[in-house]
Amino acid sequence: MAYKKTEEYNQETTEILKENFTSIITEIGEDPSREGLVKTPERAAKAMQFLTQGYSMDAKEILSSALFPEDYSEIVIVKDIEVYSMCEHHILPFFGKAHIAYIPNGHVVGLSKLPRVVDVFARRLQVQERLTHEILNCLQDTLNPLGAAVVIEARHMCMMMRGVEKQNSITTTSAFTGEFRKTETRNEFLKLLLSNRV
């Protein structure tokens, strides 16, 4: 049997959002009954639920499900994690990369869980500054590491498509706890971020 990807959506929520998107299409001067737009409200309703699914997910539970005892106390980095989120000010996307590091304190976490944590917080209406801190705080509270670090680099469509319309601007945010507040450790982390890619 061939692989089949299925997606589930709350039908009541889908209908409410569908009505709202139909109204939006009408208010901007389009005809929602036009052939190309007939199914757009439903597609948009499902897309919005997908893009905000983080509200129904528990990042701490994800991390806690894959903690393993390990006597390792050096920096662990997962870098270039794709980030796709929605700016809460204009409901427009921002996207880029997240880099996460932590220093284990008796336990390590399954590496795939770190990108999942990024997705939990990114799949909400966000600002990049809060997103950075939410990821960091989750790591610190759940893993209890000797230190944690998060850096996010992103492009914001609200700056590129409207407003100042600056196409090449990149916003970088960072947050650190524990050992990463020390200059030497932070510099080692930043040096590793800039090292050659695999």
pLDDT (tens digit per residue) in 16-40: 999 999 999 999 999 999 999 999 9
Q: How many domains does the chain have?
A: 2
Active site residue 158: yes
113 and 161 both lie in a single domain? yes
Whether residue 198 has pLDDT greater than 90: no
108 and 183 both lie in a single domain? yes
Query: Which residue is listed with tokens 């389009």?
Result: 30
Whether residue 115 has pLDDT greater than 90: yes
Active site residue 128: yes
Active site residue 90: yes
- Out of 61, 70, 88, 129, the active site residue is 88
Active site residue 153: no
156 and 186 both lie in a single domain? yes
- Can you give the pLDDT at residue 167? 86
CATH of the domain at 18: 1.10.286.10
19 and 110 both lie in a single domain? no
32 and 122 both lie in a single domain? no
35 and 99 both lie in a single domain? no
Active site residue 49: no
- Can you give the pLDDT at residue 197? 62
168: domain range?
A: 59-193
- Can you give the pLDDT at residue 5? 65
- Out of 90, 107, 153, 188, the active site residue is 90
Q: Are 154 and 174 in contact (CB under 8 A)?
A: no
163: left (phi over 0), alpha (psi -120 to 50) or beta: left
Active site residue 184: no
20 and 82 both lie in a single domain? no
47 and 64 both lie in a single domain? no
pLDDT tier, 41 (very low <50, low <70, confident <90, very high otherwise): very high
pLDDT tier, 1 (very low <50, low <70, confident <90, very high otherwise): low
Mean per-residue pLDDT of the chain: 95
Q: Identify whether 3 is part of a domain.
A: no
If one compares 195 and 66, the residue with the highest pLDDT of the two is 66
If one compares 197 and 158, the residue with the highest pLDDT of the two is 158
176 and 108 both lie in a single domain? yes
Q: Identify whether 141 is part of a domain.
A: yes
Q: How far apart are CA 102 and CA 136, in angstroms?
A: 9
Whether residue 166 has pLDDT greater than 90: no
75 and 135 both lie in a single domain? yes
Active site residue 156: yes
83 and 162 both lie in a single domain? yes
